[in-house]
Amino acid sequence: MAQNSSYDLLNPSMKQIASPESEQNWIKFKTSAKINPETIFEDHKVAFELSAFDKMVVNKTFVDDIGFTHRNYQQYFKGILIDGESINVHTNKNGETYAATGRILKGINVEITPKITAQQAIEIALKYVNAKEYMWQNTFWENELKKKNNDPKATYYPSPTLVIKEKRNYNQGLGIFNLVYRMDIASSSPHYSQRIFVDAHSGEIIDKYPLESN
C-alpha cells in the first residue's frame, strides 16, 4: 500500500503512535499506542510539538448516540487562550482512543502583557462601530437579557477577554500571532451584533465578524 505523503510530514515521535493514514490535522492512532485521552498531551507532548508554554485544556466532553466519547481540547499559551483553535480526541465505546482531529498552533511567540487596558479597547471598538444606540443602553433589551439568563447582573455591555489570535500571512505561509481583546458588541440601532478583536499592544482592530442578533 502506498504511504500517505502527508504522513511523511509528521515528526518521528508522532509516527510512533500514528498510523500511515494520518495527516497533519487528522491523526489516526495505532492500536498498540494505547492512548490515554485524559493525559494524551502530557504523555505525547513531543509528538504534538507542544512547547513548555503550551497547555491543552478540556473545553467540553460529548458522548454520541453510539457510545463514542469526544473530548474537545483548547490550546493555551502562557495561560492565554488561543482563539478559534481546538483539537478533538475521539474514543470508541471500548475505551480505545482512535483519533485526534483539529489543529494545534506551533511556534507561538507573543508578548502577553497588554499595553492598553480593557476599557481602552472597548472605547476603540465603540468608536469603530459608531452605532446610534447599543443594546445595554436600551432598558427593554437589558431586561430581556436578565430574564433570559435568569441573572439580574446580566448585561450586553462588552466584557473583553484577552486571547491570542493568529493572523495568517498567506504570501509566506506563516502565522502572525497577536495578543488581542476579544469582545462582542451588540447594537439596537442598527440592530446588529459582532465580535471584534482589538490588538492589546497597538489598539488596532485586527479582525471582526458578525454574530446572530436576536
Distance between CA atoms of residues 154 and 133, nearest Å:
18
pLDDT at 179 over 90: yes
Question: Which bin fits 138, alpha (ψ -120 to 50), beta or left (φ > 0)?
Answer: beta
User: Is there a domain that residue 111 lies in?
Assistant: no
Query: Which among 102, 129, 160 is the end of a domain?
Result: 102
Same domain, 14 and 98: yes
Half-sphere exposure for 106 (CA within 13 Å, toward CB): 9
CATH of the domain at 35: 3.10.450
Confidence band (pLDDT; 50, 70, 90) for 59? very high
What's the pLDDT at 8? Answer: 79
Helices and strands counted in the chain (H then E): 4, 10
pLDDT at 2 over 70: no
Q: Are 14 and 47 in contact (CB under 8 A)?
A: yes
How much is the average pLDDT of 40-53?
96
Structural domain containing residue 197: 118-211
Confidence band (pLDDT; 50, 70, 90) for 4? low
pLDDT at 6 over 50: yes
Same domain, 71 and 132: no
User: Is there a domain that residue 70 lies in?
Assistant: yes
Burial (Cβ within 10 Å: 0-12, 13-18, ≥19) of residue 67: exposed
User: Is there a domain that residue 109 lies in?
Assistant: no
Query: Which among 50, 70, 102 is the end of a domain?
Result: 102
Q: How many domains does the chain have?
A: 2
C-alpha cell at 53: 508554554
What's the pLDDT at 1? Answer: 44
Q: Which tens digits make up the pLDDT trace of 84-126?
A: 889 999 999 999 999 999 999 988 989 999 999 999 999 999 9
pTM over 0.75: yes
Kind of pairing between the strands at 80-91 and 161-169: parallel
How much is the average pLDDT of 169-190?
82
Cβ-based neighbours of 88, under 8 Å, separated by 6 or more: 70, 71, 72, 73, 100, 101, 102
Angle at 106 between CA 102 and CA 110, to 5 degrees: 125
Kind of pairing between the strands at 54-63 and 69-77: antiparallel
pLDDT at 5 over 80: no
Distance between CA atoms of residues 115 and 208, nearest Å:
21
